[in-house]
Amino acid sequence: MEREVAKQKIEELREELNQHNHKYYVENNPEITDQEFDRKMRELMDLEKEFPEFKDPDSPSMRVGSDLNKEFEQVNHRYPMLSLGNTYSEEELQDFHNRVVKQVGSDFQYTCELKYDGTAIGLTYQNGKLVRAITRGDGTRGDDVTQNVRTIRSIPLKLKGDFPDEFEIRGEIFLPLKGFEWLNAEKEKAGEMPFANPRNAAAGSLKLQNSSLVARRPLDAYLYYMLSENLPAMSHYENLMKARSWGLKISPHTKVCRSIDEVFDFIKHWDSARHDLPFEIDGAVIKVDDIKLQQQLGFTAKSPRWAIAYKFKAEEAQTRLLSVDYQVGRTGAVTPVANLEPVQLAGTTVKRASLHNADIISGLGLHINDLVRVEKGGEIIPKITGVVFEERPVESTPVEFIKSCPECEAPLMRVEGESAHYCPNSASCPPQIKGKLEHFISRRAMNIDGLGAETVNLLYTRGLVSTLPDLYRLKASQLITLDRFGDKSARNIITGIRKSIEVPWPRVLYALGIRFVGETVAKKLAKEFTSIDQLANASEEDLIAVDEIGKRIAGSILAFFKSEANQKMIEELKTFALQLEANEENNNHQQASNVLEGKSIVISGKFTKYSRDQLKEMIEAHGGKNTASVTGSTDYLVAGENMGPSKLEKAEKQGVTIISENQFLELIGEE
Give the residue numbers annotated as catalytic, written as ranges. 115
Amino acid at 308: I
Whether the CB-CB separation of 260 and 287 falls below 8 Å is answered with no
Calpha distance 347→177 (Å, rounded)? 8
Nearest to 603 by CA among 576, 573, 630: 630
Can you list the alpha helix ranges (DSSP code H) found in 529-583? Answer: 532-536, 540-544, 551-562, 564-575
Nearest to 306 by CA among 279, 325, 285: 285
Nearest to 97 by CA among 306, 311, 313: 306
Calpha distance 162→145 (Å, rounded)? 27
Amino acid at 520: T
Which residues contact residue 654 at a Cβ distance below 8 angstroms, ignoring those fewer than 6 apart?
Answer: 630, 631, 632, 634
Which residues contact residue 468 at a Cβ distance below 8 angstroms, ignoring those fewer than 6 apart?
Answer: 436, 437, 440, 512, 569, 573
Radius of gyration of the CA atoms of the chain, in A: 28
Whether the CB-CB separation of 646 and 614 falls below 8 Å is answered with no
Secondary structure element (H or E) that encloses residue 183, with its range: helix 177-189
Please classify residue 486 by burial: count the beta carbons closer than 10 Å to its beta carbon, then call 0-12 exposed, 13-18 middle and 19+ buried.
exposed
Please classify residue 155 by burial: count the beta carbons closer than 10 Å to its beta carbon, then call 0-12 exposed, 13-18 middle and 19+ buried.
buried
Calpha distance 311→284 (Å, rounded)? 7
Whether the CB-CB separation of 638 and 604 falls below 8 Å is answered with yes
Please classify residue 339 by burial: count the beta carbons closer than 10 Å to its beta carbon, then call 0-12 exposed, 13-18 middle and 19+ buried.
middle
Please classify residue 49 by burial: count the beta carbons closer than 10 Å to its beta carbon, then call 0-12 exposed, 13-18 middle and 19+ buried.
exposed
Please classify residue 584 by burial: count the beta carbons closer than 10 Å to its beta carbon, then call 0-12 exposed, 13-18 middle and 19+ buried.
exposed
Which residues contact residue 549 at a Cβ distance below 8 angstroms, ignoring those fewer than 6 apart?
Answer: 521, 524, 525, 543, 628
E strand residue ranges, 363-518: 371-376, 383-387, 421-422
Can you list the alpha helix ranges (DSSP code H) found in 576-622? Answer: 584-587, 612-621
Please classify residue 589 by burial: count the beta carbons closer than 10 Å to its beta carbon, then call 0-12 exposed, 13-18 middle and 19+ buried.
exposed
Calpha distance 403→392 (Å, rounded)? 26
Q: Directed axis angle between helix 564-575 and helix 551-562, to 10°?
A: 70
CA distances from 204 to 174, 443, 495 (A): 11, 16, 27
